[in-house]
Amino acid sequence: MPADPSPPYRISCPGPVLDQVRAWVDRTVARGLRSFFLDTLRGITERLSNDPLAWGEQQYHTSGHGLPVCSAAYGLLHVTFAVDVGNRVVFIMGFDLMPNSPLQDSSQM
């Protein structure tokens, strides 16, 4: 009998990061990209929940706890995150829009 699969990683995201994502969701509606953006978020969530270290490129370790900090890109977004393997938690540190994203303000282009 195969071993039980590991439970998914929990994802923790600070309020200011969630606020930025919500602002981008609002912008996607006006630009006709809501479905694509939500697919991007689902894809990121899937990868972070199941195997974040295999998906992201490790950049450095946090001071203090020594958690690996990784970055990865998917769809319209680049995400930076730390992974607590022992507790199976991913800490999202931030999102950035990909270069030349249709969601950038005209002042950012």
Q: What is the pLDDT of residues 41-91, one digit of tens each?
A: 999 999 999 999 999 999 999 998 999 999 999 999 999 999 999 999 999
Three-state secondary-structure class, residue 61:
strand
Q: Confirm or reject CATH 3.40.50.300 for domain 10-99, answering yes or no.
A: no
Encoded amino acid at 54, one letter: A
Write out the DSSP string of 68-85. Answer: EEEEEEETTEEEEEEEET
- pTM for this structure? 0.88
Is the confidence at residue 106, as pLDDT, over 70? no
Distance CA 70, CA 13 (A): 15
Cα 84 from chain centroid?
15
Greater confidence (12 vs 31) lies with: 12
